[in-house]
Each structure stands twice: as C-alpha cells, then as structure tokens.
Structure 1
C-alpha cells in the first residue's frame, strides 16, 4: 500500500510539473536563488520523445487490422510520451535553491534534500562522468555527469522514492552553471550572520 501511494504521489507530481513547465513557472524557488541543472539532458529527452512518436506511428500501421489492440497500444504510447515529458519538466521546474541558511538539492520529483549551510565543510567544482555507489554518498548525475561535489561535516537524511532513508555525507550534483553555483554557495557560507537587533 505504501508503494502504491508513493507511485500515485510520484505521478501527480510529474503531471503538476508538466503544468508548471507549460506556464513557465517553478516550484519551491520563492525566497531563494535558483540554479538549473536540466539543460544537459534536453537533447536526450527530445531524442527519446521522437523515438516514442515514431514507435507510435509504427505500431498504428502494424495494428491497423486490430482496432481494439491499436487503441490500447495508442493509449500506452501517448502515456509514455507524456511521462517522458513530465520527467524532463520536473527537472526544469524544480531547480536547486540556495537560501540564506540552507541549500535545497533537487532532482526532479525524486530528490529534495535540504542541507544546512553550517553542515557544508567543502564545496568544489568537480566534473565526474563515472559514479560508483558507496555508502554515505549521493550522486545526482545529469546525462551521466556531475559537476559539483559537496562534502558535509554532519550527515543529512536522504529519503528515496522507494526504500529506506539513509544518511549521506557526500553529495555530487550537476548545475548548468557550476562556476556561478559554487561561487554563490561559497559566498553564502562565508558571509557573516547579521547582527542581532540592538536592545531597545
């Protein structure tokens, strides 16, 4: 039952992301600075959509003598195209968000991880195209690539779509403008806290 609820929630968020994408809005970026990460996968998504559309026409020709099967397969093909577009839309409308006290690391509707700035011990640009699963590490590759590495002094809990929560102390992610992302994050970490209001 829990898995079914997770799937339903996942689908709803995908379709909501598609609506936000079509209206050129973002999700959860109010009050912070947004950093996109989806630009690198645009061509891949477009190619996949084209393949799905071609497959739809191909199946329509093959099943023209079986109208019931044709309608079923057509519905599945249309759903697949919408699903792929929803996945891409989710990565566009749900950017990484930097606020005065935390970094919100995201990857579509699958990952939404809040990292307090005080928990960051190191931030660096680091391009990686290979990633090996390791305990305590979270890799959020876009087109098989990450461009920024975050090291944490205190682990944070990551709750995956499926499976049990786990603690991570290293996060690798991608940012379209890694230089600006690292620069903004470095400044946010080093800026002094505002002085408290003087006593009245």
Structure 2
C-alpha cells in the first residue's frame, strides 16, 4: 500500500474516533437502526482505558512542571500529551458507540474505529457462546479474531467466506468470526433468532 493510501486510511480512522467522542458525549450510538439489536464489548476494556487516561494525565502535569523553563519544548509536549489523552478516550468512545449489531439482514461485527465487517444472515451457518483466549502472535487461517481484553466469547461459523478489511486495507477471507460481547448469551440468542426467522 502506498504512503498516500496509508495516510487516507489513518485520516479516516481519526475522523471515526473523533466522531465517536461526540456521539459518546450525547449518549448516542453509530449504525444502530430501527429494529436492530446492539451488543456492546467495551466493558472488559474500560478499566484499562480509564487507567491509561489517568496515567497520561498525570504525566502531562509532571512534564509541564519539568519543561516550564523551556516554553517551546513545553508547548510541543503539552500538545502531544493532550492528543494522547484524547486518542485513548476516543478509542474507548469508539468501542462504546460502535457496538456489534444484529439486524434484519445480518450481523455487523465491529471493533472501535478500525473494523466494521458486515456478515449477511444468509452466510451464517451457526452461532455459539465460546470463551477463547487467542494468541495475539498466531493468526489462524480463515479465522477472524476480534478480541477484547485478550478474549473472545462468541463464535460465528459461516457457510461461505466473507472478506474482512483491516485498518491498513489488508484483506482476508474468513469462514469463522470470533468476537467478544459483554452479554454473549444474549448476542448468540439474537443471532439464532435471526437465523430461525430466515428459515
């Protein structure tokens, strides 16, 4: 992928998490329509996100005191530190405002501002509750793992593969989607109900 393409994708990602901050502030969600059922996945990562925000905020104050005698360096570090705090909050906001969605036509699997995969109901063979702790260093062929806090809790098996597109545009054909949901049993029940209605 060329450098301009990477910059475009990065800019789009930035817009999505910034928009998520605005949606979070007004308690709204992205892409949840009439007749859709949303399933969150942010609960498991919330303590880590808030912990990072606290650490970066403390660092911002500390660095401000250290660099007070050097105005130019102080300004640069202040901007970088504030951006980092905003980024961490924005990524958490994206997880809150961009949930997984089960709708009349299928399942929308999402992760923060970096993944949005549509799986048509006609391609879903089965859904089950399954707690897994995937190895981040090992990529299974044909399997998309959307882990939160290093775990997945729902597995969708597909009748035919779908194409998942990553943040940097990398495309993968997958026949299994493993994702995390705060309420996995309710999520699986909603998918099975969707499949039953189609049959």
TM category (shorter chain) comes to over 0.9
Residue equivalent to 1:10 = 13
* 1:77 matches 2:50: no
Trace 1:95-110 onto structure 2 (pairs within 5 A).
95-110=99-114
Give the CA deviation at 1:192. Answer: 4.6
Name the CA distance, whole Å, in 1 between partners of 2:113 and 2:134.
23
Q: 145, 155, 177: which one pairs with 1:171?
A: 177
Structure exhibiting the larger radius of gyration computed from Cα positions? 1
Structure 2 unaligned regions, length at least 5: none
Give the CA deviation at 1:124. Answer: 0.8
Residue equivalent to 1:21 = 24
Name the CA distance, whole Å, in 1 between partners of 2:150 and 2:33.
29
Structure 1 unaligned regions, length at least 5: 194-200
* 1:91 matches 2:95: yes
Between 70-79 and 117-126, report the one with greater CA deviation: 117-126
Q: 140, 158, 164: which one pairs with 1:158?
A: 164
Count, aligned residues: 193
Give the CA deviation at 1:163. Answer: 3.8
Deviations 1:137-178 (A, max 9, x none): 111111111100111110001111114312111111011101
Trace 1:42-191 onto structure 2 (pairs within 5 A).
42-131=46-135, 132-191=138-197
Name the CA distance, whole Å, in 1 between partners of 2:96 and 2:150.
17
User: How large is the RMSD of aligned CA atoms in angstroms?
Assistant: 1.1
Residue equivalent to 2:38 = 34
